[in-house]
Amino acid sequence: MPLVLEQIHTPGIAQLSYLVGDDSAKIAAVIDPRRDVAVYLEMARQRGLRIAFAIETHVHADFVSGARELASRTGARILVGPSEAYGFDVQQLEEGEVVELGSVSLRAIHTPGHTPEHLSFLLTSTSQGSEPFAVFTGDTLLNLSVGRPDLVGVDVEEQLARQLHGSLFDRLLPLGDGMEVLPGHTAGSACALSIGDRLRTTAGAERLANPYLAEPEEDVFVRRLLGELPEPPRFYARLKEVNAAGRTLAGGASDPEPLAASEFHRRSRTSDSLVLDIRRMLGFGGGHIPGALNIGLDRKFPTWVGWMVPADATLLLVADSVAEVDEAVLHLFRLGYDRISGYLHPGMKAWQDGGLPLERLAQWTVLELDRHREDPDVTVLDVRSDREYAEGHVPGAEHIYLPHLEERVSELDSDCTIAVYCGSGYRSSIAASVLQRSGFRSVINVPGSFSAWKAVGFPVETESGAVVRGA
């Protein structure tokens, strides 16, 4: 069959991109390419396809676009929605314009709301009939969610929310319940609220199950959507600027230098260096380099790196294996972190064998936390989001949302022991490392954190002040 339709799932940022084209005509386009473009080049090479177009549904906020990288490697034209924001050569598509790929075509539909310039694309293939059968919706319509309208600026979020309503109810849903929806994100992305984990869906399935489509009245839709939005990750604004201006071409992620402990130690002492320890919380707690920031390498790693790591930092990595270093470097590359000075080789064993200073982070179970939570010399600190804290927390716990901890450490008593918890222990380990970096000498992390607290049945305090049992 001539139709080419390949979906590429990028973990961590939970992003979906697509290679679409015609096998017979040997021509293709990539929709919303990520920065490391080798996957598209290899797919095209295997099929003998020429990538003629790099298509952006909108200016992305959560990853560095690969459109310019792909264009430089293939000669592809970059196609975007109508906007004055772009600082490099693009072809702006208007409503109804068609991108021809042999017997396959993509028709642009202007679907503003997530961003003003957002385009969706109706997919038609003569091998599938004369009518469109699928739509690439970018971040407008997602499984069980819709794109958030607050990433451009708070002064226009209500206007964009109303435009989003029109894009959904007047443009996309009228395409019919059988229309296949090919979204730009899946579960795990912060570009929308509570995205489902289906990689493909249909307009009909979303009409039935998507909570934001349950009420077609515009004012109700806008109030609900804007009322539920959490604070956007702070790095989103930076990446929107990067993608609008056009990131400097890199060719691919760099190979960081393996460093002996003595050289790692020397480089870590420079003013712009940040030691990023990507090991799991228990390994970090057992012994780490003083001043290291702990962000464990798991599915949440890219988001919390974006929140917590300055864009201009020179990074030195600590990991349990070279494979983990390679994975972290790829995540960092996708977020635009290109200044990686090297990694500790062969890990913390080299550091300890070199007799270099070690710092430890004590760990309490929730049983220990319960025993100490009313101790006047202990501050229990909840670093979850405002919504999580309001829904239930350890009685008497203070609250500072993790992304704001560094700027608010002065609110904590440095003479007290600070016992930090979150939902699972992942964010609290980040927070504990921030506190140690800020000079707090007695810091405790709580593995299992609030999930374990509730599982044991310990008391939970709600926003109203009521105390209930946790399980």
Per the structure block, which two tokens stand in for 358? 């070690």
362-469 sits in which CATH class? alpha beta
Q: What CA–CA distances, in Å, run from 310 to 185, 314, 342?
A: 25, 9, 17
State the fold for domain 258-353: Oxidized Rhodanese; domain 1 (3.40.250)
Full-model pTM:
0.94
DSSP secondary structure string, 200-262? SEEHHHHHHH-GGGS---HHHHHHHHHHHPPPPPTHHHHHHHHHHH-PPP-SS---PPEE-HH
Q: Which amino acid would we find at residue 381?
A: L
Q: Which of 141, 166, 150, 136 is nearest to 8 (CA)?
A: 136
Residue 253 has pLDDT above 90, yes or no: no
**Region 395-415: what's the mean pLDDT?**
96
Q: Which of 65, 90, 72, 67 is nearest to 80 (CA)?
A: 90
Per residue in 50-80, pLDDT (tens digit) is: 999 999 999 999 999 999 999 999 999 999 9
Residue 250 has pLDDT above 90, yes or no: no
- Exposed, middle or buried: residue 250 (CB in 10 Å: 0-12, 13-18, 19+)? middle
Residue 466 has pLDDT above 80, yes or no: no
**Region 141-157: what's the mean pLDDT?**
94
Q: How confident is the model at residue 19 (pLDDT cuts 50, 70, 90)?
A: very high
Each domain of the chain, given as residue ranges in start order, spans: 3-244, 258-353, 362-469
Q: Which amino acid would we find at residue 87?
A: G
Q: How confident is the model at residue 350 (pLDDT cuts 50, 70, 90)?
A: very high
Residue 10 has pLDDT above 60, yes or no: yes
Q: How far is CA 70 from the centre of its chain?
A: 22
Same-fold call for 3-244 versus 258-353: no
Are the C-beta atoms of 147 and 181 separated by less than 8 Å? Answer: no
Q: How far apart are CA 173 and CA 165, in angstroms?
A: 11
Are the C-beta atoms of 419 and 398 separated by less than 8 Å? Answer: no
Residue 202 has pLDDT above 90, yes or no: yes
Are the C-beta atoms of 362 and 417 separated by less than 8 Å? Answer: no
For the chain, percent of residues with pLDDT exceeding 90: 94
Residue 465 has pLDDT above 90, yes or no: no
CATH 3.60.15.10 fits 3-244, yes or no: yes
Residue 463 has pLDDT above 90, yes or no: no
**Region 337-361: what's the mean pLDDT?**
96
Q: Which amino acid would we find at residue 468?
A: V
Q: How confident is the model at residue 215 (pLDDT cuts 50, 70, 90)?
A: confident
Q: What are phi and psi of 107, to 5 degrees?
A: -105, 125
Q: Which of 154, 116, 408, 124 is nearest to 244 (CA)?
A: 116
Q: How confident is the model at residue 375 (pLDDT cuts 50, 70, 90)?
A: very high
Over the chain, what is the mean pLDDT? Answer: 95
Q: Determine the pLDDT at residue 343.
A: 98
Q: How confident is the model at residue 47 (pLDDT cuts 50, 70, 90)?
A: very high
Q: Determine the pLDDT at residue 153.
A: 82
Q: Determine the pLDDT at residue 443.
A: 98
Q: Determine the pLDDT at residue 470.
A: 59
Residue matched to tokens 């226009």: 156
Q: How confident is the model at residue 1 (pLDDT cuts 50, 70, 90)?
A: low
Q: How far apart are CA 323 and CA 326, in angstroms?
A: 5
